Amino acid sequence: MNESALRNAETIASGIVDRFALPAPAGSIEPYGGGLINATFLVTAGDARYILQRVNDSVFPEPERILSNLSVLAGHAATHAESKLRIPALIGARDGLSFVRDGQGGFWHLMAFIPNALGLARIEDLEQAREIGRILGRFHVLVSDLPVERLAVTLPRFHVTPGYLERFKQVLATHATAHPEALSQAIACVTARQAGVGVLEAARRDGRLPVRVVHGDPKLDNILFDRVTGRAISLIDLDTVQAGLVHYDIGDCLRSCCNRRDGPAGAGFDLDLCRAILVAYAEETDGLLDATEIELLFDAIRLIPFELALRFLTDHLEGNRCFRVTERGQNLHKARVQLALVADIETKERAIRGIVAACFKGGETGPRDRRF
Ligand code: ADP
Ligand code: MG
């Protein structure tokens, strides 16, 4: 979502919120949080607070599906009260629907605000890393008996890396061939690694990997911690909960949490954080993953930041339609950071495979030649 779309959403938010079934009239409505995809507002009504969001419909083709999935998930979570995972309650519209459409076709929903919680800008210690592993594991355990067919596909081909590569190539082909230095370098990095981007999808297609319900976007920003206890209490941003591979989630979580941003190109994969997250995840999920899932974890850890680099780079070339930027060239810069992270992960392959093997007692330890 770009700045003008965000300002536009801000102008109409107050007219929208009154159409939800709030117990008290809405008071203040303020832009909230650092999300890049949707327009998010904090609403105060009486003593209560809510999160109002306008779904980015250039990202999600059928936003109704998000609401359908949220209610399936909430219903499922209600049958697993033991899960200790907070799923924000949805507030319906006065007309009985679970969302409100604005005059421009925009799609809005409202949910309860999770109080006394905060997101972390970066991980400060290993206990926080363990909390992250635990909450992701808790989420996967929670949805492990939710049949994938009950969830609609909100974002078709999300995390299907070969699709992002294809799209990147198409967009690149429409651009001039002479590029600024930084862009040329990024393109060269992508080109050097393109073979093998289908490693997870091939395994999914062949039935070697089970399709499970996944979060889709469990990066650090989407984990809320209790202000007092420091425990991870909620995985938010549930727009992309749908059928997928656990690899998408583990890869996305690790690339976001373990990037110390202190390498020469603003990236460095922290092995201690990786170990802490995976140890806690493996304990929490206790045998949920099968041997092939474990075997392909390293590939996921390398592939998902590569995929994100492709997405940032494509968006940069397309004029930042998907990821909001606050300065010129920001998506290119983010792509370069992810590519540097991929390069660092590759140098640490043996160590990462060792960590996976130790955590799950079944992964492989030896590095392989294959590069994607
Ligand atoms: P985006 O898809 O744009 O990333 P998110 O759903 O992650 O949007 O929401 C943006 C931010 O709003 C989050 O990073 C978080 O700070 C805050 N937020 C979202 N939902 C809630 C909630 N239910 N309770 C408290 N804060 C929330
Ligand atoms: Mg978010």
Q: Is 32 in the pocket of ligand 1 (CB under 6 A)?
A: yes
* Top mutation candidate among 1, 32, 40 for ligand 1, by most atoms within 8 Å of CB: 40
Long-range contacts of 147-150 (CB under 8 A, 24+ apart): 148/211, 148/212, 148/213, 148/242, 148/243, 150/72
Q: Point out the ligand 1 atom lying closest to the alpha carbon of residue 36.
A: 3
Question: Residue 202 has which token pair?
Answer: 């091939």
Cα dihedral sign, 155-160-164-167:
negative
- The 10 Å Cβ neighbour count of residue 30 is 11
DSSP state for residue 88 in the 8-state scheme:
P
pLDDT score at 96: 94
Per-residue pLDDT tens listing for the chain (372 residues)? 666 777 777 788 888 999 999 999 999 999 998 877 889 999 999 999 999 999 988 888 899 999 999 999 999 999 998 888 989 989 999 999 999 999 888 899 999 999 999 999 999 999 999 999 999 999 999 999 999 999 999 999 999 999 999 999 999 999 877 788 899 999 999 999 999 899 999 999 999 999 999 999 999 999 999 999 999 999 999 999 999 999 999 999 999 999 987 766 779 999 999 999 999 999 999 999 999 999 999 999 999 999 999 999 999 999 998 888 889 999 999 999 999 999 999 999 999 999 999 999 844 444 444 444
Domains of the chain: 3-113 (3.30.200.20), 126-360 (3.90.1200.10)
Q: Point out the ligand 1 atom lying closest to the alpha carbon of residue 37.
A: 3
pTM, whole model, 2 decimals? 0.92
Give distance in angstroms: CA of 300 to centre of ligand 1. Answer: 25
pLDDT score at 191: 94
Which helix (H) or strand (E) segment holds residue 49: the answer is strand 48-54
Question: Residue 22 has which token pair?
Answer: 């709030």
* Top mutation candidate among 108, 110, 114, 237 for ligand 1, by most atoms within 8 Å of CB: 237
Query: 349-360 vs 330-347: helix axis angle to the nearest 10?
Result: 70
* CB crowding 79-111: b at 16 or more within 10 Å, else e: eeeebebbbbebbbbeeeebbbebeeebbbbbb
Q: Point out the ligand 1 atom lying closest to the alpha carbon of residue 113.
A: 24
pLDDT score at 254: 98
Give distance in angstroms: CA of 368 to centre of ligand 1. Answer: 39
Q: Is 221 in the pocket of ligand 1 (CB under 6 A)?
A: yes
**What span, in angstroms and rounded, lies between the C-alpha atoms of 99 and 190?**
40
Q: Point out the ligand 1 atom lying closest to the alpha carbon of residue 117.
A: 25
Q: What angle do CA 29, 32, 36 make, to 5 degrees?
A: 135
* Top mutation candidate among 51, 86, 90, 111 for ligand 1, by most atoms within 8 Å of CB: 51
pLDDT score at 346: 96
pLDDT score at 323: 84
Longest dimension (CA), the chain: 62
- Tokens 């289908």: give the residue: 198
**What span, in angstroms and rounded, lies between the C-alpha atoms of 349 and 365?**
9
Nearest CA-CA partner of 257 in 347, 361, 341, 365: 341
Q: Is 15 in the pocket of ligand 1 (CB under 6 A)?
A: no
pLDDT score at 35: 79
pLDDT score at 363: 43
Give distance in angstroms: CA of 113 to centre of ligand 2. Answer: 14
Q: Point out the ligand 1 atom lying closest to the alpha carbon of residue 32.
A: 12
